[in-house]
Amino acid sequence: MSFDVLCLRPEADFTRIGVEPPRSLAIAYRAPGDADVVGLLGQARALVIPAVGPKLDPALFADTRLRLVQVTGAGVDRLDRESLVHQDIPVCNVPGGSNGALAEYVVTCASVLLRRLMWSSNEIRRGNYVSFRARMVADNLAGIDGLMVGLVGLGTIGLAVADAFAKVGARLAYHDPSPRDAEAARGLGARAMSFDDLLGAADVVSLHVPLLPQTTNLIGAAELARMKKGAILIQAARGGIVDEEALAAALASGHLGGAAVDVYGKEPPEPTHALLALTGEAVDRLILTPHIAGVTRQASATLFQRAWDNVERVLIQGMPPDCRVF
């Protein structure tokens, strides 16, 4: 049977949220580990893949007739840029489709950590209602309004997060040598700062940079030590940007007030991972999620529809691909 597209995610992912792949294209749905993936890839004109998952072996793309690799999200970390550029296989993503969902995640995590909501729930279950309430009142906990939120990276996601924080009264600062829209940032009252100054001034630091050689372990022990005592770190960018052992140490020591981590250097993290080995109050000051910061029904519908629209654009309409990354 001939077909046009190999899709490495289940058809149900699309249909359950109301997105219908193009009926005019023959599509083969497979799991990445299926035995016939290599053979099917040699026949397909387009490959559709999730943004999240293990890296794909560059050898998979040798001797194919692919006209498009379409990612159903923003990240293209799974793909080997050099080999695909060499073979002139266009790689496209869907930028911005999950910005709102990710901004909602970041602001929610900041509020949960600042107000100790998860910690409070745990203490009540431990029978400590009265004592923990007294502690929370005595500690004079702050909400987001009036706090300094520092954004490391001000692309489209960073701007969406800045806008969400501005709506709840945060003061904003950012570090980005090449901000996406400095004028929009100024309109939100955000001011540019050096990296070190931002770390030292912010009550909440949120990361929104891609994983590049220069951003690998961007936040390590030294950077965490520069952060204000009691500050919050939110890592929903890319795994590898934060030294996770150093983060665990900063939480265990009490230097950081809390952290939310959605992405990891290795996914899933090993059972012996430093963040999973934390004990005591450090556990209550840590939110761990499985790379779902940008995943909501609404965001997925947008991402999936735009991904299939681009496949149709290339294979049916014969037009150049939209949102080509490389």
Q: Is 238 a catalytic residue?
A: yes
Q: Is 20 a catalytic residue?
A: no
Choose, from 126, 267, 297, 324, the residue flagged as catalytic.
267
- Supply the pLDDT for residue 134: 98
Choose, from 171, 208, 291, 306, the residue flagged as catalytic.
291
For residues 189 and 162, the answer to whether their CB atoms sit within 8 Å is: no
Res 1 pLDDT > 70: no
pLDDT confidence of 2, banded at 50, 70, 90? confident
Average pLDDT along the chain: 97
Residues shown for the chain: 326
Average pLDDT on 238-259 reads 98
Please report, to the nearest 10 degrees, the dihedral formed by the alpha carbons of residues 200, 206, 211, 213 taken in order: 0
CA 209 to chain centre: 9
Domains (range + CATH), the chain? 5-97+297-315 (3.40.50.720), 99-288 (3.40.50.720)
Average pLDDT on 248-254 reads 99
Q: Is 267 a catalytic residue?
A: yes
- Supply the pLDDT for residue 102: 98
- For 40, 199, 228, 242, the CA distances from 255, given in Å and listed in that order, are 52, 13, 8, 16
Res 247 pLDDT > 70: yes
Q: What is the pLDDT of residues 141-171, one digit of tens each?
A: 999 999 999 999 999 999 999 999 999 999 9
Choose, from 45, 238, 285, 306, the residue flagged as catalytic.
238
- Supply the pLDDT for residue 27: 98
Burial classification of residue 269, based on how many CB atoms lie within 10 Å of its CB (0-12 exposed, 13-18 middle, 19 or more buried): middle
